[in-house]
Amino acid sequence: MSESARPAVLGQNQYGKAETRVVRITRDGAVHHLKDLSVSVALSGRMEEVHLRGSNTHVLTTDTTKNTVFAFAKQHGIASAEEFGILLARHFVSSQSAISTARIRIEEYAWERVDAPGCGTARHSFVRSGQETRTAQITFDGERLEIVAGLKGLVVLNSTGSEFHGYIKDRYTTLKETTDRVLATEVNARWRYGRTDADWDACYRGTRELLLHAFAETYSYSLQQTLYAMGSRVIGQRPEVEEIRLSLPNKHHFLVDLAPFGLKNDNEVYYVADRPYGLIEATVLREGAEPGIPVDLTNL
Ligand SMILES: O=c1[nH]c(=O)c2[nH]c(=O)[nH]c2[nH]1
């Protein structure tokens, strides 16, 4: 049989509504609480019929998956992104025999209260807080529940305590060695939990804090070393975390040459290049744990 005569077969497939933005307000008298999520549902299972023969018999529509997100927000509330994702994932797999796996990806945007003096007891004004986005991915295949939490867009900077030298110099190397540089990055992290119930908000806050503390406390000889210090701090201090993957763009701060103006630049004036940027990525695991977080975090 020639190559072109070998028939096509259907490979991995999934479908669902992406980026359903749901805001859930809970009213506790005059004090209101707000949760703001973007929920993406991806379902897979016996979907040969729809792809190969155009039969929609096994298709729970993407429109229905979107409606389910809204209905569950009303009926169950949103205790945490993880809790909400677990409910949805279990629902899709247990209610439809054709669906064997549900993957729910959630981004959460944080809001905090505006405590204006003139507002009295009516506590219903909020301001978007936190530059970073909290993320959660819940996957249920009918047996195993996998919970991967994370954050993205957490920008941090050390204005000293960072050196970079001793690297390979070949004929193309122009980078100058330094014993005092600015180290800045945007923390993008995913961590996989080894259990399926926990105080997810406390786990998130604790992990975020450890990442920040390790970044601040590590005297750095490279962003790679800082990354490992951050990841191993989490593995060392959060027993519920089995594995963490970090993707850290090096937000290069270059000293501006002020000599043409007759000025000395004593590590004071920098220009920040947004691209190209070094991209340092690694997984830190608990010894013996099987790696489960995909290498490429871009769309996670
Ligand atoms: O911390 C760093 N790691 C590198 O691998 C690298 N490469 C580079 O040009 N600058 C830096 N900084």
Q: How far is the CA of 277 from the centre of ligand 1 (A)?
A: 9
Distance CA 214, CA 235 (A): 12
Distances (CA, A) of 281 to 135, 164, 246, 278: 18, 17, 6, 10
pLDDT score at 4: 76
* pLDDT attached to residue 1: 60
Q: Of 6-15, 22-31, 290-299, which range is least confident?
A: 290-299
Taking only the tens place, the pLDDT of each residue in 53-98 is 999 999 999 999 999 999 999 999 999 999 999 999 999 999 999 9
**Which active-site residues does the annotation give?**
17, 62, 252
Q: Answer for the pair 62, 118: CB distance below 8 angstroms, yes or no.
A: no
**Atom of ligand 1 lying closest to residue 162 CA:** 1
220, 288, 286, 277: which is closest to 250 by C-alpha? 277
Q: In this prediction, does ipTM exceed 0.85?
A: yes
Q: Is 222 in the pocket of ligand 1 (CB under 6 A)?
A: yes
* pLDDT of amino acid 105: 98
Q: Is the Cβ atom of 273 under 6 angstroms away from ligand 1?
A: no
Q: Ligand 1 centre from 269 Cα, in Å?
A: 20
Does pLDDT of 116 surpass 90? Answer: no
| Nearest partner of 39 among 81, 79, 71, judged by Cα | 81
260: left (phi over 0), alpha (psi -120 to 50) or beta: alpha
CB-ligand 1 contact for 278 (6 Å cutoff): yes
Kindly give, in sequence order, each residue whose CB lies less than 8 Å from that of residue 257, ignoring residues fewer than 6 positions away. 265
- Which ligand 1 atom is nearest residue 220's CA? 1
What is the SS3 assignment for 12?
Answer: coil
Give pLDDT tens digits for 225-256.
999 999 999 999 999 999 999 999 999 999 99
CA of 182 to the centre of ligand 1 (A): 12
Tokens linked to 244: 């963490």
The pair of three-digit structure tokens given for residue 250, joined into one six-digit string: 């090096």
| Torsion sign across C-alpha atoms 42, 43, 44, 49 | negative
Q: What is the position in ligand 1's atom list of the atom closest to the CA of 222? A: 1
Residue 300 confidence class, pLDDT cut points 50, 70, 90:
low
Contact 42, 93 (CB under 8 A): no
- Report the nearest atom of ligand 1 relative to the CA of 223: 1
* Domains of the chain by start residue, with CATH: 12-108 (3.30.1130.10), 112-252+272-285 (3.10.270.10)
Quick one: pLDDT at residue 131?
Answer: 87
* Residue at 260: amino acid letter: P
* 182: nearest Cα among 157, 165, 164: 157
Residue range 252-280, pLDDT digits in tens: 999 999 999 999 999 999 999 989 999 99
Confidence of residue 3 (pLDDT cuts 50, 70, 90): low
Q: Is 286 helix (H, G, I), strand (E, B) or coil?
A: coil
175 lines ligand 1 (CB under 6 A): yes
The answer to whether the CB of 106 is under 6 A from ligand 1 is no
Question: For the purposes of burial, counting CB atoms within 10 Å of the CB of 69, is it exposed (0-12), middle (13-18) or buried (19 or more)?
Answer: buried
By residue count, the chain amounts to 300
Burial class (CB in 10 A: 0-12, 13-18, 19+), 215: buried
CA of 163 to the centre of ligand 1 (A): 10
Q: Read off the pTM.
A: 0.92
Three-state secondary structure call for residue 139: strand
Q: Using a 6 Å cutoff on CB, does residue 164 contact ligand 1?
A: yes
Distance (Å, whole) CA 212 – CA 264: 33
Residues 6 or more apart in contact with residue 236 via CB below 8 angstroms: none
pLDDT digits (tens, 9 = 90+) for 157-208: 999 999 999 999 999 999 999 999 999 999 999 999 999 999 999 999 999 9
